[in-house]
Structure 1
Amino acid sequence: MCVLLEVGHARKKFNSVYDEIASVTVNGQFRLKNSNRSIALLLSAVLLIALAATVSFRAIGQMEVAAEARSHTRHIINTAEGMLFQLLDAETGQRGFALTGDEAFLEPYLSGREQISDYFADLRHKVRIQASQTHLDTLSPLIDNKLAELAQVIVLRQKSQLADVLALVKSGHGKRLMDEIRFEINAMVQIEESALAQLELEYQSSMRLLFFIFLGVSLLALLSVLTFAYLIYSKSKERLKDLLHVETRHLLELQEAMNTQLQQANNVALENEEKLAVTLSSIGDAVIATDNKARVTLLNPIAEQLTGWTQAEANGRSIDEIFHIINKETRQLVTIPVMETLEHGTIQGLANHTVLIARGGREYDISDSCAPIRNHDGLLVGAVLVFRNVTDEYAVQHALCIQQLELEAQNNELLQSRAALDASQARYFDLYDRAPVGYLTLSESGLIIEANVSAAVLFDIDREVLVKQSITQFINKDDIETYYQLRKQLMATGDPQACELRLRKSADELLWTHLSISSALDAGMPVVRMMLTDISARKHTEEAFLKAGALQQAIFNSANFSSIATDASGVIQIFNVGAERMLGYAAADVMNKITPADISDPQEVIIRAEVLSVELGTPISPGFEALVFKASRGIEDIYELTYIRKDGSRFPAVVSVTALRDEQNTIIGYLLIGTDNTARKLIEEERAQLDLALKAKNLELENARVVADQANLAKSDFLSSMSHELRTPLGAILGFAQLIESGTPPPTPNQKRSIDQILKAGWYLLELINEILDLAVIESGKLSLSMESVSLAEVLHECEAMIEPQAEKRSICVVFAKPEQDYFVKADRTRVKQILINLLSNSIKYNKTGGTVTVICSVSHPDLIQISVRDTGEGLSTDLLAQLFQPFNRLGQKSNVEEGTGIGLVVCKRLVELMAGEIGVESTVGIGSVFWIKLKLTDEPKSSLHADDAVVLDRLQNQGGEQRFTLLYVEDNPANLMLVEDIIARRPDIRLLSAKDGNAGVALARKALPDVILMDINLPGITGISALKILADDQLTAHIPVIALSANAMPRDIERGLAAGFIGYLTKPIKIAEFMQTLDATLKIATGKLPGTHIEEV
């Protein structure tokens, strides 16, 4: 320990030497600073560094400006290229949708439109070069036109107008736009890249300048530092030599003193080790010492003997190699105490039942303990394990335990013998009293001397009362003679006797018993032992079995079905009365003589054998085996068969076969139950005849339906023709009336009143025509509905605006209650609006002046919403309500000044029902009526493409600029042509051309190439649809949008026109405002300012 302290002092000394050297260095620096040469050198270095820093900061500033400019230019280039890539992705998605119709391809287009606008706005904000700004100005209309062209193709594809899509793509308009966009973007990118190259040159120049500055400054600074360091080093080196010489002499003196102390410590350690070795050799316990790594450092002789390892062999080995211990009872390895001691630093000891397995495999019972070894500082440096052999001690203890257990076992056997004897006696008396039979002991005279508890219970009296009674008083008088005969036989033979007789339990209750008697001696006196067993339950059961057997036999013999039982070979053993009646045989005629196959149709039996052979894949011989083969295999078998009666007559029967088995599951016979199937066969024949009659009736009905369909078709053709003939002159009347009304100069008040009457009458006549057509289409079952998710709030808002003028004329207050939320229904939007307008119009029409109409929406069911229209009119009686939904029935309003046909509500009812809804009315005379409809609720729809297209339309409509358009109108009716000429005359930006037949229209379209074509359908020569096909097939005119303008207003006519390829379908008579709105939208499509879409019928 002293040596270690001296070494520590020496280290401290050495460290102090280095501290002195450091202080010398610092002092040397101080002295050098006082030197004129050092000061001059330092000042020069500082000035150079300051100059270099100034120049560097300036160069870095120029580089930052250049870097910012480069980053700005790169951003512009990347944004331009990104905008081009987005446009290409949108075009690719559009092409995928056009080819497949899968809207998943539209994702790049839908997401790309907004990003393209953002890209363009970013470029417009950040482009600084005038030439690039010029290219951006050129790009703006090109990108808008390209987006419009993409949207037009998408909408055409959504309408399934593949021909129009193909024509639009083949026109090359989209490719030209994309080529121009790509050219302008590439040109702008080239300008920006040129600017970027110039900035890159400036940046590289600044970098080279900065590099040379840094290089020069670094070289000068390095030279100054090296010079300064050399001066410090030369001064410090001389001082260090002197200090090292002095310190080395001092360390040598310390080392000599330390060697002397170490020699003394070694002598003391050797003496202690000799004492320890003697101690360990002389103790009787085994000792093993380890270091803190559990490596063996010491084994005393006892440990060597028990483990089988010597000190030399075990030294340095891990403790678990030489010290193997297990649990004596479980034979599982036990944790060595050394490990626990080294881990926790505490004394450890094992419980008993520990076995040490020596190196040679010998086992010792041991007890052990382990303690930690610590140094002077308290640090854990090892462990000492002490254990001893306790095998002999355990053997002695084991022998003592065995002797003690043997003594305890003998004592237990003695106690058990005594307890068994006591229990045996108790059991005897308990068995005697509690036995389930009655025991009596009688005297020779028949008096009861002794009785058990069961006997008293049997007679239902106390045991004390039963004793001393005569047994004969309990025996039924009808059975007393039997008892005397039994006693007589006992006395004659001396053998036990038994019989069954009845005992009186009470005055009204008899008890059947099995009575057995025997003679015996009791205390030298002769006695009779009697045992009574209650057999009343068995007697009752036997009686019930007899009754059930009789009942079963009666049912068996009186049944209306045949029941035939056979033995295992098929010979009949049982033949019930039902079989006798059904087959005409007596049971004696067939039992033990024939099999069921002998009374069956032999040909059917052969066929059944062949069919079953094929079905089950095993040969079956015709005969009885064919009748019972499936039942013998455990398969349920019910089949039809013809039975032959004794007189030779035949009848169909349904036979059910069951195999009869014994307790070993061996077949002992078969049961065949048959029923006469004659009645069912007759019913089946009658049913077949009825089926034939029904087929004939169905054929008759089908012929009638064909005739009805032909009549409906003729009616539809008539209505279509009538609609066309009525709409054509009506179109001229209403069209010119609208022109006069809006003309310049305006009409006089008298003329205005006349025009209003013309328009009112004309529009009313058109409404009547539409209602009749709607009813006809609905009744024919050919109405096509466009079911979608419809916002009730939007529809009600539109209805409110449409009905407001009618309500103001009558001073009717119409209130639309605001719904709790925006509900959506699954319906046809147009038809829902038609229904609500009709209900609202009736509520206003038949209301009192100054009355009120209230519209309320309420959820009547989780999946239904009810729209109620409440008025304050006169109301309807019960009789009128019953006639409400009859066609052309105006409920007595024919003399009323209000106009109407009586079919509006009928159309509403049919339309609501077609949309899976309900319609109803509640009315009170003098108070008013409530008409309501119920429609199915649905989820709010996702945003659609049409809303986005409307945004594009608004944006394009807001763009200024005049453009002259050419419109071609193909019409053979002069009045209609004159009307359109007058309408177009008010639009100086549109030039109108006309043709009077389809062929002339096609020729003029090829020559003039108009922007839009208006086409009548019923034209001389070729129809408008044929003319449209010719134009679409001609590459020169395929791109021109064509609007149908026809008096054919049936829904099937409109559908046929749109399917043919018309971009829109207008019906005559036209409304000028709506006509011009459709025409303007189509002109924008034609010029690429609006995505192409179908313009729906107005």
Structure 2
Amino acid sequence: MLMVSFGQLADLLPEPVLLVSTEGLVVAANQRARKELGGVGEGQSLFELCSDAREHVEGLLKRSARVRQPTLGTLTLEDGRRYRVEGAVVRPASEGASAIVLLRLVHEQAALAAFVELNRTLEHLRREISAQRRATQALDRQREWLRVTLVSIGDAVTATDVEGRVVFMNPVAEQLTGWTEGEATGMPVAEVFHAIHETTREPIENPTVRVLREGIVMGLANHTVLVNRGGGETPIDDSAAPIRDAGGDVIGAVLVFRAIAERRALERLAEQRLADLVLADRRKNEFLAMLGHELRNPMAAILTATTVLHAPDEDPEAAAYAARVVERQVRHMARLVDDLLDVARISQGKIVLRAEVVDVSLVLQRSVETSRRLIETGRHELHLSIAEGLPPVKGDATRLEQVFCNLLNNAAKYTPPGGHIWLSARVDRDEVAVSVRDDGVGIPPELLPNVFDVFVQGDQSLHRSRGGLGVGLALVKRLVELHGGSCSCASAGTGEGAEFVVRLPALRGEGAAAGARDREPAALGERLRVAVVDDNHDAATLLAVSLRRWGHDVVVAHDGLEALELVRRTRPDVAVLDIGLPGIDGFELARRLRREPALDGCTLIAASGYGQEVDRQRASDAGFDHHLLKPVEPAALMKLLAKVTPSGRAEPLESGGNDDAGTCE
């Protein structure tokens, strides 16, 4: 009778199910097991079916024989197929009889169909109770098998009768709802399973109510949240289905659901990242348009200036003005490139601060002088309020000047002509607080949280651009943070002006006293023999003119091999070498020159368009003493030459001239 009942019930299950004695002999197998496991039948040894070690299989059977709750394990068939097995005891061991355990080879999505089919079988058995008293025991056993099956499922399962009252809950359902099966049995399912919409917070119709009403299978609404007995919330999904009897009548409903908090979090993260990518793409496109605009403006001015310079009968004053235009626009383009490189360096952690004790008042003074032309062009009134006795800070004076220069330029660009700009500095507890405030166009509230992001500008339209690439404030924030400080922005809205506040840790005590010294301006140094090597004839000629104005003797070459012979013959004190040369490049030229004993005292300076740390290291490895970034700043080159003595090499500086020099946007 036991085996007949097992066959009647187990053949309805979609997964392989075996009854096995603790000695490993198959007592019974359902139809799915016989099909999948190669015709397994009564009396066959489980050890022969599996490729697992005998100890592994015996361990699974022993664990399953001790508990009625499912215990987990694995079995691997001889053909390599691997199953996750859930086992529980069906008949405990007794005198003269081994225990019999139920082994279920779990298939996903099988629980719902198994539950519906098993309830149909149970309903059929109920109808025959009056005529088959002996079926009572079999029915009880089948109920237990059903419970073991549902308990082993990882999803929450709740079943109701035709009136919508709870008749069953598995442990997962108890955990998620906060109700025990005993407490919930007989209660309306709507009181036990309470769901709301995640966004609107409105109650959602219990799916079992509609299933019982319409007899359909339905899924839960998207963004459903289960509110448990204690008020806790859990995102869930899945479906509900009717339970029908043999005649097709609905006799109840089953609700299967699962917690999806982790999946929902991943979905929200994916949505946020998609939104971030869309925003980044839009900003990239706006930036490229702005970059084209910013580069075309100086190129147009340079082209016009060259026309003036080429005119044979042009007066000297016009030619001088055209030359100044070219210089100013080239410097502007160089600043654009430097800002982009600075953002990349900071993002990659490649900015190295030249830490020293810095006089903030002196840095602010230099910043004002640098930005004064832009302020005066806008006819702005600058108000200064620098507290006396400001303590020094530890940092890079050049980079801090870049910070304040950018803030002043930003205020000047976004303040209408005739406006006001306030620069103040004070001590605030252990910090030096520097404020740059204006009464300009202000910042819209929606832009304020992103004002320090790269490529963000308050006005993106090309015809109203105030210049720059939208990286100035991003540089400010990153440079201030590298100094251990903070930067904030405030604005009452459009037309209400804006205020930027930089806070830097103040130095006190011995640290401040040790750095209290004035910096002497670099001297021009002695008359030197200088070799300039660059395949760009214009660049080489103009650099030679500047060097001669500084009182140096200059020779020029335009390719690597020519330069090698020239330097061997003239034995200069300094050689300024371009890297990208025809014949042999600047690196190879430097290596060959370093092998010449007669040139041991020659100082080699690389002039390169690449300023990353790897580029500077490569130059050093080739034998260069210093590394300057193109276009070469005259002040940086003059500083290097001032430390060179004729027929002797200068002591290397801490960094190569203007390769990391700060610029203002």
- TM-score normalised by structure 2 residue count: 0.48
Structure label with greater radius of gyration:
1
Give the structure with the larger helix fraction: 1
- TM-score normalised by structure 1 residue count: 0.30
